[in-house]
Structure 1
Amino acid sequence: MDLSAKVSILGLGIMGAAMARSAARGGLDTTAWDRSPGRASGLASGNLRIAPLVRDAVQDADVVVTMVSNADAVLSIMTEREGLAAMKPGAVWIQMSTIGVEGTERAWRLAGTRPEIGFLDAPVSGSKAAAEQGKLVILASGDQGRAGATAQPFFDAIAAQTHWLGDVGQGTRMKLLFNAWIAVLMEGVAEVSILGDALGIDLGRFTSLVSGGPLVPAWAVAKLQKIKEGRTAETEFPLRWAHKDVQLALAAAGEERARLPILSKIDAIWAEAEPGFGADDLSAIYLALSNGVKR
């Protein structure tokens, strides 16, 4: 790993903060920024510094990472806050936020206004714990030959696996499938839990019977346990962002949306749940359904 690489992380939410810590722990010279100064406080240590302005964070960086909530936030950081203009020639912008196909195309077009800057579309899959442990899965797309070597030290620091999927946009498309799959699984976990309540079955016993078997992946077992233990307020992935990702998947489907009835129903259910449970963990959809969210 090239430990001389300088990395800038823009966005210090659950995943961005964890990635910044992993990069710094991996020996990379890391600078981070967040639009909420309070969120950044306490992160600075060792190889990790906090910058007051986006341009201060990116001006010396070899790799600039955007990890924020939506496409508008990404574009605002890179235009209004001068992120792209302040990047040095030869640096690589890695767009890792989940912003959908149209949002990724907007970011790519913006990157094209500075052709001397590399651009990668590289969303990640993995839990908060995986991010903290540097064991994410990266779904990378773009010019691997031009930008990949520059990005690789950062990828090595934060991920257990990096998959190169082709041209810009393929990473985002794969991430939409990942998150649609998660949404369908989570709705299933929540509804099975409610059915168990109705049948008088202890959820812990059900979880122990299905754990390690072919029916339930480890991620779903963890969500079952979270529901059983009443820890849905311990947020790993907020319900509101999961709902946003369902909407991005449906938008990307275009005319095929009519053939996605389950995802469309999940969109409607989670839209009703979001006002009360949006900041909680995705598993809080169980509580929303238990409290009478209409099916």
Structure 2
Amino acid sequence: MSETATIAFIGLGIMGSPMAVNLAKSGHHVIGYSRREASASRLIEAGGTRAESIHEAVQDADIVITMLPDSPEVIDVALGSSGIFDSAKRGALFIDMSSIAPSASRTIADEAIKRGIAALDAPVSGGEQGAIDGKLSIMVGGSAENFERALPYLQSVGTTVVHVGGAGAGQTVKVANQLIVAGNLQVLAEALVFLEAQGVDTQAGLQVLSGGLAGSTVMTRKGESMISRSFKPGFRIALHDKDLKNFAVAAHESETATPVGTLLAELFASAKAEGDGDLDHSAMFRHVERLSGSEQG
């Protein structure tokens, strides 16, 4: 186990709450902060505490972790008045595990250096279940020294923890991950709607597809929810739409051709615009049904 540390965890949502709980279960003193008091209930049950403000959560922390929706929220919490950089002690390690624009991570890292704070961008993949099980995949950007310092704590929430480069590199890998996941979700949805339209037993079809070359983690985790039309959010379409927009901006900056990525971004944006933003991203199945004129209520 890693050396016991005081960890401030900012953002106790679908992903952040179980991650904070796993850190507390690893023996760390975890101080959580979320605007909604109820969000801290699971952390408190696991032995953590809730702070009334970011300043209170951060001021004595060795490690500060954020898990927030998007770039503006992270920038505000990190750089705003009485935020993390105003409140953290010099030498503290800031780990942003949100999924934000790579350019925003680089801006935050530059500011951290000026404040005497170590910084990493460490977005995750694995969804809500991966967060609950402590089996997330974590892609980390920043210095090798800071990575080694953070590794024992990151291993409390993930099983695959990889240093992928300098500041912003973690977020760059994450948006690439989201492109691949979006593509898998879309083609899986199209395949299952197609099988239904052809009168095939989709449960049996999914079973055999999962055992062949077409099989994937996305198919294993999301195929059943598509067939049963159960779209309780583990990762919302609205967040995936945001990630694809971040990918598009980064691809434009690097002059990378992304014809399929552009189409996927349009499809996810369309699903969000049609009212499915708060559903799990497996609800892209509903979008394909609508396009096919076969949606079931």
Distance in 1, matches of 2:69 and 2:14, equals: 11
Name which of structure 1's ranges 278-287 and 80-89 shifts more when overlaid on structure 2.
Answer: 80-89
Residues 30/258 of structure 1: CA separation in 2 closer, same or farther (3 Å cut):
closer
Aligned match for 1:254, one of 252, 255, 259: 252
Instruction: Give structure 2 stretches of 5+ with no counterpart.
Output: none
Matching residue of 2:287: 288
Contact in 2 for aligned 1:63/1:91 (Cα 8 Å): yes
Contact in 1 for aligned 2:147/2:163 (Cα 8 Å): no
What amino acid sits opposite 2:55 in the alignment?
Answer: R
Distance in 1, matches of 2:42 and 2:159, equals: 26
Distance in 1, matches of 2:101 and 2:2, equals: 31
Report Cα offsets for 1:112-171 as digits up to 9, x if no partner.
330x210111111112111111111111121222x2343223112111121112211211
> Are 1:89 and 2:90 matched, yes or no?
yes
What amino acid sits opposite 1:52 in the alignment?
Answer: E
What amino acid sits opposite 1:175 in the alignment?
Answer: K
Matching residue of 1:216: 215
> Are 1:60 and 2:60 matched, yes or no?
yes
User: Offset of 1:81 from its aligned partner?
Assistant: 4.2
Q: Per the alignment, in what secondary structure is the counterpart of residue 278 of structure 2?
A: coil
> Are 1:236 and 2:231 matched, yes or no?
no
Instruction: Give structure 1 stretches of 5+ with no counterpart.
Output: none
Distance in 2, matches of 1:82 and 1:9, equals: 13
> Are 1:267 and 2:265 matched, yes or no?
yes
Distance in 2, matches of 1:211 and 1:46, equals: 36
User: Offset of 1:288 from its aligned partner?
Assistant: 2.3
Residues 193/256 of structure 1: CA separation in 2 closer, same or farther (3 Å cut):
farther
User: Offset of 1:221 from its aligned partner?
Assistant: 2.7
Contact in 2 for aligned 1:250/1:257 (Cα 8 Å): no
Matching residue of 1:13: 13
Residues 104/203 of structure 1: CA separation in 2 closer, same or farther (3 Å cut):
same
Residues 112/244 of structure 1: CA separation in 2 closer, same or farther (3 Å cut):
same
Matching residue of 2:45: 45
| TM-score for the superposition, normalised by structure 1 | 0.92
Distance in 1, matches of 2:257 and 2:39, equals: 41
Contact in 1 for aligned 2:21/2:46 (Cα 8 Å): no
Q: Per the alignment, in what secondary structure is the counterpart of residue 20 of structure 1?
A: helix
Distance in 1, matches of 2:269 and 2:242, equals: 9
Q: Per the alignment, in what secondary structure is the counterpart of residue 8 of structure 1?
A: strand
Contact in 2 for aligned 1:138/1:161 (Cα 8 Å): yes
Residues 222/42 of structure 1: CA separation in 2 closer, same or farther (3 Å cut):
closer
Distance in 1, matches of 2:114 and 2:47, equals: 31
Matching residue of 1:108: 109
Residues 258/175 of structure 1: CA separation in 2 closer, same or farther (3 Å cut):
closer
Percent identity (aligned): 27
Distance in 2, matches of 1:263 and 1:216, equals: 21
Matches for 1:166-185 after TM superposition, within 5 Å:
166-185=165-184
Distance in 2, matches of 1:242 and 1:153, equals: 29
Q: Per the alignment, in what secondary structure is the counterpart of residue 178 of structure 2?
A: helix
